Amino acid sequence: MNNSAPLMVVGAGISGVTAALEAAEAGREVILVERDPSIGGRVLRSHNYFPKLCPPSCGMELNTRRVERNPRVRVLTGTTVAAATRDGEGWNVTLKTAPAYVNDRCTVCNECAKACPATVPDPFNLGLAEVPAIRLPHLDAWPQRYTLDRDACGSGCTACVDACEFGAIDLDAKETEETVAVSAVVVATGWRPYPLEKLDDLGGGVLPDVISNVMMERLVAPAGPTGGEIKRPSDGAVPKRVAFVQCAGSRDVNHLPYCSAICCLASMKQAMYVKERLPETAVTIYYIDRRTPGRNEEMLNRVDELDGVELVKGKVGKVERGAGGALKLRVEDVESGRLLEAETDLVVLATGMVSNLDTGDTPFAVHTDDDGFGLDDNAAKLFVAGVARRPEDVAASVRDATGAAAKACVAATGRTQ
């Protein structure tokens, strides 16, 4: 491939990392920009992938090695796009990098975290645990470098600086800015869960024992807030009954009109987590359609065969406090109009995915559809990959990202199609 200005990939979740690596291994210079202090995005918050029930950190380990070995990928973490303008054939992009309070001299020895007196809710664990203000973002974090939540520091505190033998901490570090010229851009800014609080009819944000599917992934992780145990947030009790509410916010004109594509499989996977850890616990999945396309059908078959897992067709309309700490579900069979009632101990809302492009306010002025998902702009050499583009699972995101890398390479080559 001919050499022109580098490509830029915005967002270093599985889609962005994939797009960057596929292009870089093909010989392109790539600048990979990530807002968070480490790469990997949302996939690393999942305990296992469906349908193989294998850990996301496994593939990410390989991708990390690929990044480290490839001199063509420049990874900028803690970095956001401040401005972007079309310039001739490509883009001029202004990047802002957060102050490097902890620099490359960090060896992840953990002495700073031991000394740190301040704690913050752990963003990696969705606020379900407290962590020191200075810390490794999570066990698999790459770059392997601590990060400091400077706002949480006590006035004049230098405990971490004093504890660091390596001179890796500079509390006076400043934000830096640079402008780069790039030939084409892949936007892979990912998604966020539909907010629980908007699902108050289903107890979201109101009842502590109504949790989201993304929280469930953290509960089963050994390094998660409960050490891998599934417990009710309200009283720490082990649930004897768990109910999964599908389409919580999805396929619903009052919330997200689209199907979020992954929630059926995620809940089936989580039902398997529950049965593996708590074999006596009864699991019920309330669904409208069981969407397990392709070879993912195996997941449905496996869950169907599990003792103590029931799949019930019906839309849960209401979750309320029941007697003795239980939760009461009202389930409507939409088409027959019949109403069911059920009790459970823990409700998992299978919340959907919202594109992080939905605000429509991005430096690249990415066009979006009515659902907030990004659209490719060939003329602007601007391509969207992953869940920023549409609701899809990891396998589809990787496919999408590899395709986006191809589109960006073609655009950068300048050959008209």
Partner 1 sequence: MNNVGVFVCTGCDIGAAVPLENLEKVAGGLGVATFQSHENLCSPEGVAVIRGAVEDGSVDGVVIAACSHRAKIEEFRFDPTKVHTQRVCLREQVAWTQPHGHEDTILLAEDLLRMGVAQSQKYTTPGRLGEDVDRTVMVVGGGLAGLKAAQAAAGMGNPVLLVEASSQLGGYVAGLKDLVPEVPPYDRLHENDMAALVAAVEADPDITVRTSSSTRNIDGQPGQFDVELVGPDGTENIKVGAIVQATGARPYTADKLGHLGYGLSANVVTTQDLELMLGSGELKCPGDGKTPERVLFIQCAGSRDADHLKYCSSECCSASLRQVASIHRDHPGVETAVVYRDLRTPGQLEHFYQGVQELPGSLFTRGEVAGVEKANGRLTVNVTGSLLGDDISVDADLVVLATGMVPNAADGEAIRELRDARGRIERKESESQVAAATAVVADLESHDGTQILNLNYRQGPDLPVLDYNFNDSHFICFPYETRRTGIYAAGAMRAPMEPAQAAEDGLGAAMKAVQCLEMAARGEAVHPRAGDISVPEFALQRCTQCKRCTEECPFGTLNEDTDGTPKYNELRCRRCGICLGSCPERIISFPDYSVGGVAAAIKSIEVPDEEDEKPRVLAFMCENDALPAFDEAAKRGFQLPPWVRIIPVRCLGAVNIVWIADSLSSGIDGIMLMGCKKGDDYQCHYIRGSELADRRMTNVQETMDRLTLESERVKIHEVARNDYARIPEMFEEFMETIEEVGPNPYKGF
Sites for partner 1 among residues 190-229 (CB under 8 A): 221-223, 228
276 belongs to the binding site for partner 1 (CB under 8 A): no
Residues 29-58 that bind partner 1 (CB under 8 A): 47-49, 52-55, 57-58
Give the Å distances, CA to CA, from 306 to 33, 275, 284, 385, 407.
43, 8, 11, 36, 44
407 belongs to the binding site for partner 1 (CB under 8 A): yes
DSSP label of 377: B
Minimum Å distance from CB 96 to partner 1?
23
105 belongs to the binding site for partner 1 (CB under 8 A): yes
DSSP label of 195: P
405 belongs to the binding site for partner 1 (CB under 8 A): yes
Q: How many angstroms separate the CA atoms of 199 and 379, rounded?
A: 40
Minimum Å distance from CB 322 to partner 1?
26
Residues 365-384 that bind partner 1 (CB under 8 A): 369-371, 373, 375
107 vs 119, beta carbon nearer partner 1: 107
Task: Give the x/- contact pattern for partner 1 in 160-189, rule: CB under 8 A.
Answer: -----xxx----------------------
259 belongs to the binding site for partner 1 (CB under 8 A): yes
CB atoms within 10 A of CB 62: 10
CB atoms within 10 A of CB 410: 17
122 belongs to the binding site for partner 1 (CB under 8 A): no
Q: Which amino acid is at 334?
A: V
Using alpha carbons only, give the angle 61, 66, 69 rounded to the nearest 5 degrees: 125
Q: How many angstroms separate the CA atoms of 86 and 84, rounded?
A: 7
Q: How many angstroms separate the CA atoms of 230 and 190, rounded?
A: 27
Question: Residues 298, 310, 320, 332: which binds partner 1 (CB under 8 A)?
Answer: 298
Minimum Å distance from CB 262 to partner 1?
8
Q: How many angstroms separate the CA atoms of 10 and 19, rounded?
A: 10
147 vs 153, beta carbon nearer partner 1: 147
73 vs 319, beta carbon nearer partner 1: 73
28 vs 35, beta carbon nearer partner 1: 28
Minimum Å distance from CB 72 to partner 1?
10
255 belongs to the binding site for partner 1 (CB under 8 A): no
364 vs 383, beta carbon nearer partner 1: 383
89 belongs to the binding site for partner 1 (CB under 8 A): no
Minimum Å distance from CB 2 to partner 1?
6
- Short-list 141, 136, 144, 129, CA closest to 112: 136
Strand order in the sheet with 176-182: 79-87, 90-97, 176-182
Minimum Å distance from CB 271 to partner 1?
16
What backbone phi and psi angles, to 5 degrees, belong to 146?
-70, 160
Interface with partner 1 (CB under 8 A), residue total 88
Question: Residues 3, 65, 175, 340: which binds partner 1 (CB under 8 A)?
Answer: 65
Residues 314-373 that bind partner 1 (CB under 8 A): 333, 335-336, 369-371, 373
Under 8 Å between Cβ of 146 and 135: yes
DSSP label of 350: E
235 vs 341, beta carbon nearer partner 1: 341
Under 8 Å between Cβ of 389 and 13: no
Question: Residues 2, 197, 280, 307: which binds partner 1 (CB under 8 A)?
Answer: 2
**How many helices and strands, by DSSP H and E, does the chain display?**
8, 22
- Short-list 417, 389, 416, CA closest to 403: 389
